[in-house]
Amino acid sequence: MNSILKIENVVKNYPSFSLKNVSFEVKPGQIMGFIGRNGAGKTTTLKCIMNLVHYENGQITVFDKDMSENELENKQRIGFALSELNYYPNKTIRQLMNVTKRFYKKFDEKKFLEACKLFNLNIDKKLEELSSGMKVKYSVAIALSHHAELLILDEPTSGLDPVSRDEILDIFHQIVKSKDRAILFSTHITSDLDKCASDITYIHDGEIIYSGTKNDFVKSYLFIKDKSSNKDLLNEYISYKEFDDHIEGLISVDKKKLFTKKNIEISEPDLEQIMVYIERSKNPNESFDL
């Protein structure tokens, strides 16, 4: 199995938004970060993968089987969680476990309880009493208990404190350590990707603009801080910001030679800087007067 998940030319049309030939794949052992602005199409894509929304064109293959034709079988091997757990808020984790295990043939109650203990989850607490971080851990515990080979998580670290986020990212590393499982998770917290993602897929306005290794993505850009405020080079930037005493912005790595002058600092950008300046380049008119 070369790919755990393969998405090919998926199209989904809404009155005010469309997924446009979305294509990418997730391989065993990968932690794939799915990034983009709010409203770019991340959650819609994840729902298409899980057959929760109908898409007009394209194909989604999971474990080498067409998802639309093998949905029930494939979902036995997938752990899926949207950004917020809102179902049965008055039920305890124990009660939810007793319901959930009816749906998964390979549900291992012992493994679930071990995961809850590891994550410090009190199984007699109601879902509504759990913090955001604990809800994410609960979702992961469920996935581990039925031996999910693919975890698909929508904004799993959103709203978490730094300690809880770090714990979740450590868990992700442990899950893919055996190289036979994979994780696809959407996020707008780029620092999480810096810590744990091996690969990223970047979606903008319903279109994939990059899918590949995180390292290759970062290495293809450079961050510039020009203290000479040289405006002759403005057209060479992907996008830039002008300050009183300098200009800073993002360039493609192939333009480095143009910026080897005095008073110009060149550094490797982080994912947040890349995302900010790419989005500025694609939305140049997003401004207002104060």
> What is the sign, positive or negative, of the torsion defined by CA atoms of 88, 92, 93, 94?
negative
Domains delineated in the chain: 5-216 (3.40.50.300), 220-282 (no CATH)
Query: Mind listing the pLDDT tens digit for each residue in 153-178?
Result: 988 887 778 888 888 888 889 989 98
DSSP result, 219-245:
HTEEEEEETT--GGGGGGSSEEEE-SS
pLDDT tens digit at each of 290 positions of the chain: 689 999 999 999 999 999 999 999 999 999 999 999 888 999 999 999 999 999 999 999 999 999 999 999 999 999 988 766 567 788 999 999 999 889 999 899 998 998 898 888 999 999 889 887 788 888 888 888 888 999 999 888 877 788 888 888 888 899 899 899 999 999 888 888 888 999 999 999 999 999 999 999 999 999 999 998 778 899 999 999 999 889 999 999 999 999 988 889 999 999 999 999 999 998 765 554 44
DSSP state of 75: H
CA distances from 148 to 121, 182, 197 (A): 20, 9, 19
* Alpha carbon distances (Å) from 239 to 37, 46, 185, 261: 17, 30, 28, 19
